[in-house]
Chain A
């Protein structure tokens, strides 16, 4: 009982501190700015520690099996392993909202302490806006989703954590994703502050770009971990389902990607400022929309576990207020941010602009596909679902031109480009890419689909041009003898964008090949049966039974042979969790760079005869390898020094 009371008091105090900090926006001109900033910073710090403490308190309730707390009783159980008791803190709606606010509060804290390169008035406004968002979500938690609500009499044992969530990947997937989602509040707060300020300096843009990159890092990591988890846990061999909630995280990702590029232009050339500001608002709006879609449970989704219209309405109202307010502000004020410089069609910035527009169009197409079922059902046009073919179709046709343009964009010069200089290396690399794509498909796969050749060629083009760019960069400094000086002189912005683009190329290769050349078998097997998939023979040996702390499982034993030589043992499982009697499939996967073999148990159809699903997935690991390159690229962004060009 005491935990619940302390928890509620903590949440109320945090609310009060955020409310006070929000007010600094209105009172900043009555006192000196550095005084107000100091206060805001102190309140932000205090509120962060209060929220952190309430979060620790909730985890403590989980670890000590305090079932008098309703949320704990619903989502934990005495037999649950400790690590999952801890991760259950954010395993369902209430706790995950608390984590949301905690992370938001953490980002706010970082802004409070690392914004020295911004003028005080901008920092104060940003802190005020971010605290307003904290305030809104804290009241949301207190009134509609309080994790500290009690239950009386307390049950002796809890209802257990959803078995699907009892997985190491899912311990870190939500926090990473939330760091990304919530991080979009930084560009948003910056955008609103700038709109009030009506002036912007390249130095501030440079500051923002690093935070946006960090946010992008977390969102990328969170999304890819989610897809990695889906591939390993859902037992369907897929890694991306165009599920509404996946889309909800992918849309802010696309906009953040566009924003990073448009900020590069804004910083370098002092143009497209209002476009950057618009993307900043859009990214946060889409993050909020994502939160709304997940939390209201109005869509058919893997993630729709909380069905509560009241929560949906609260977030929807907040969403409309935020989007409405910031767009009106944008319309009134953004025209004062007119670009001082001009640009030509034959320049890097123009190609980047085209890719920006493409990214935005893809985002709206995904938004339309995601929301269309909702719109149709509201307008009584019938119950409709928009399937994966729609999303695959639009992403094929809209991403491919973008990937093609990536390579010239890297080579083109700012302001005015000398076409003659770049046309030779680009055409030779493009022809080389076409030949390579053709040879690779011909040697290892088969030449059947034109679209495979095209996307492979584009992807290889992106990789080759990025490698060439790094090589060029190193060659320039080859006259410098000292290794240290040579390292110092490396242009880190080129290194980071090359790594990111190589990552995209590798990712596209993985998606294309695994999509078009996967093999799938669904068959019945009894012990002793064997089947061939690609050039591998799979033999079913039988089933053994095992018991663990909180589940019992049937484990299938499969051996793989290649050319009659034994290779591996696969142990896919069918688990039954003790408390909720849920059945879970654990696939057995052997991964290598060239291919994955994926075995999942179906069910016992008749005595000892099991339905089995076997996949052969070539190059699927390239997907996550590409993501690793992209994540790695962000590291260099913190060392690059871009110079703003004069007119």
Chain B
């Protein structure tokens, strides 16, 4: 088959295009698979659905009366609960302004044992009425019949 000059060039462009796009897609998919963080509820964690020593996100309510701040350093611990179970969270650092007992929260960190999460980040909420969609969703699924206002 004899190709004219123009078609040859088009094929070259196409090859370059396909090569660069597949290279980039490979890179993107690799980066995505390395950086996906799964979200779990306390019940899922207690049931052993969440992996140990892998970054995860945990969401729920900050259990009332569970917040414990060390007066001598920035170590903080509290429980995150849902309707059935609770998980202990340890964190060192400053908390966001709208963090409080009885409020919805999402933390990211690593489970070092089944009931204990070492948090690296406590996610800020930006409005007291705002609830992370994951938490709102979880509450709708699990806490039907419970007055949402109790958790404000």
Interface residues of A (CB under 8 A from B): 162, 164, 234-236, 297-300, 302, 304-305, 307, 342, 345, 354, 357, 361, 364-365, 368-369, 372, 382-387, 389-390, 393-394, 397-398, 522-524, 580, 582-585, 600, 602-603, 605-606, 609, 611, 613
Contacts and interface: CB of A to CB of B under 8 A. Distances in A.
A646 B62 CA distance: 70
19 contacts: A300-B123, A302-B126, A304-B133, A307-B133, A361-B20, A368-B28, A368-B32, A369-B32, A382-B38, A383-B134, A386-B32, A389-B35, A390-B35, A393-B31, A394-B28, A397-B27, A524-B73, A583-B97, A585-B97
> Chain A's interface: helix, strand, loop or mixed, by majority?
mixed
Nearest to B138: A383
B74 A386 contact: no
A300 B28 contact: no
A389 B36 CA distance: 10
Nearest to A393: B31
A580 B128 contact: yes
B36 to A, nearest CB: 5
Contacts of A387: 35, 37, 108
Contacts of B32: 368-369, 372, 386, 390
B71 A606 contact: yes
A386 B71 CA distance: 35
Nearest to B10: A342
Contact of A298 (B27, B108, B124, B133): B133
B130 A611 contact: no
A394 B134 contact: no
A372 B74 CA distance: 35
Contacts of A345: 12
Given A389-B34, A524-B72, A609-B71, 17 more contacts: A235-B97, A300-B123, A300-B133, A305-B127, A354-B20, A382-B39, A383-B40, A384-B36, A385-B36, A386-B36, A387-B35, A390-B31, A522-B92, A582-B98, A583-B98, A585-B97, A600-B94
B55 to A, nearest CB: 8
Contact of B24 (A234, A365, A611): A365
A347 to B, nearest CB: 12
B71 A384 contact: no
The 5 A-B pairs at the shortest CB distance, nearest first, are namely: A383-B39, A390-B35, A602-B94, A606-B71, A583-B97
B17 A522 contact: no
B133 A385 contact: no
A357 B130 CA distance: 39
A611 B128 contact: no
A99 B21 CA distance: 39
B35 A393 contact: yes
B26 to A, nearest CB: 11
A523 B133 contact: no
Contacts of B24: 361, 365, 398
Contacts of B97: 235, 582-585
Contacts of A302: 126
B93 interface: yes
A89 B5 CA distance: 61
A384 B39 contact: yes
B95 A524 contact: no
B57 interface: yes
A361 B19 CA distance: 13
Contacts of B94: 522, 600, 602-603, 611, 613
A342 B35 contact: no
B27 A394 contact: yes
Task: With a 10 A CB-CB cut-off, give which of B35, B38, B74, B123 has the most chain A CB atoms.
Answer: B35
Contacts of B148: none
Contacts of B36: 372, 384-386
A65 B118 CA distance: 48
Interface string B12-30: 1000010011001001100
Nearest to A365: B28
B147 to A, nearest CB: 19
A522 B130 contact: no
B9 A385 contact: no
Interface string B116-130: 000000011011101
A382 B51 CA distance: 14
B132 interface: yes
B132 A300 contact: yes
B6 interface: yes
B69 interface: yes
A387 B97 CA distance: 22
Nearest to A350: B13
A582 B96 CA distance: 12
Interface string B75-96: 0000000000000000011110
Contacts of A389: 34-35
Given A361-B24, A394-B31, A605-B69, A304 B38 contact: no
A155 B73 CA distance: 46
A404 to B, nearest CB: 15
Contacts of B12: 345
Task: With a 10 A CB-CB cut-off, give which of B12, B27, B28, B127 has the most chain A CB atoms.
Answer: B28
Task: With a 10 A CB-CB cut-off, give which of A305, A387, A600 has the most chain B CB atoms.
Answer: A387
B130 A305 contact: yes
Contacts of A384: 36-39
Contacts of A307: 133
Given A164-B126, A372-B32, A585-B97, A342 B9 contact: yes
Contacts of B73: 524
Interface string B49-78: 000000001000000000001011110000
Nearest to A164: B126
Given A384-B38, A585-B97, A299 B71 contact: no
Nearest to B73: A524
Contacts of A583: 97-98
Contacts of A382: 38-39
